[in-house]
Structure 1
């Protein structure tokens, strides 16, 4: 038996502060931060905002919305991706920014999309055949940028994995 190894790596751009980003990305991150103010998060007190830039230049923003039945709530990233799909079904999301306004004033803990949100973002990437850049920052501190969701979700589950028009096996 032969075992083969393959290394998976993610290339991240790291900016010391938002002011170091291109102006368009600074504005998107600020839009995400402003959206976090509207977070409904009475259970976790973790206020997250997201903003998406479409290929047309249109920008959408949203925040996480919780429910006492925890699985019923939605993360800011999923809300934005679903809103983009519902309102602008033919326009690709090209960049997504995510951040928080929660935590201690000096918190520099990075906020990234959860696993479910990563898969939601991947679905829209595959739907439009266009990479989606992700801009991530905690309450303050460095800003991390990945060129495509594949950097955060390697070996992602996608259409090629599922045979189309066939019912799933039980």
Structure 2
């Protein structure tokens, strides 16, 4: 799949973030980049913890960085993941359920989600609504 220039730049930001991941336990790097409605891009990586349940996903960290900078609406999310030991053999890293829910807080069902392997050979472009149908959000409170 050939990505539009704007999407390719977002995937590149996610790939760069993945290289900075702190993953001493799993060795699995995940980088994410989100684009806010105003065009700003926020990128982050996963950060592991010896108490595994306290680890934070790259998608969560990117969304939180955007939120802390005042972004309240996200239009795009890109995710790149790979195993440090064999980056070329790694498959795409789909956002986990928790991350999908966190993204939903700041992005609507039409938000574009792009997931890529590290080489860019395997790419899935979809929407948040397709990844998280019947989402729970503020409108349901």
TM-score of the pair, normalised by structure 2: 0.89
Shift of 1:44: 0.6
RMSD value over aligned CA atoms? Answer: 1.7
* Paired residue total: 139
Corresponding position: 1:132 with 2:115: no
Task: Give the Cα separation in 2 of the matches to 1:114 and 1:44.
Answer: 16
Pick closer, same or farther for the CA change 1:108–1:41 going to 2, 3 Å.
Answer: closer
Corresponding position: 1:97 with 2:78: yes
Task: Give the Cα separation in 2 of the matches to 1:81 and 1:137.
Answer: 18
**Partners of 2:81 and 2:90 within 8 A in 1:** no
Task: Give the Cα separation in 2 of the matches to 1:131 and 1:109.
Answer: 25
Trace 1:63-82 onto structure 2 (pairs within 5 A): 63-82=45-64
Pick closer, same or farther for the CA change 1:119–1:65 going to 2, 3 Å.
Answer: same
Structure with more of its chain in strand, by fraction: 2
For the residue of structure 2 that corresponds to 1:94, the secondary structure is strand
Matched with 2:26 is 44
Shift of 1:77: 0.2
TM-score of the pair, normalised by structure 1: 0.75
**Partners of 1:33 and 1:101 within 8 A in 2:** no
Shift of 1:105: 4.5
**Partners of 2:59 and 2:99 within 8 A in 1:** yes
Shift of 1:65: 0.4
For the residue of structure 2 that corresponds to 1:145, the secondary structure is strand
Task: Give the Cα separation in 2 of the matches to 1:86 and 1:149.
Answer: 21
Unaligned runs of 5+ in 2: none
Shift of 1:88: 1.9
Unaligned runs of 5+ in 1: 1-14, 163-170
Matched with 2:137 is 158
User: Rg bigger for which structure?
Assistant: 1
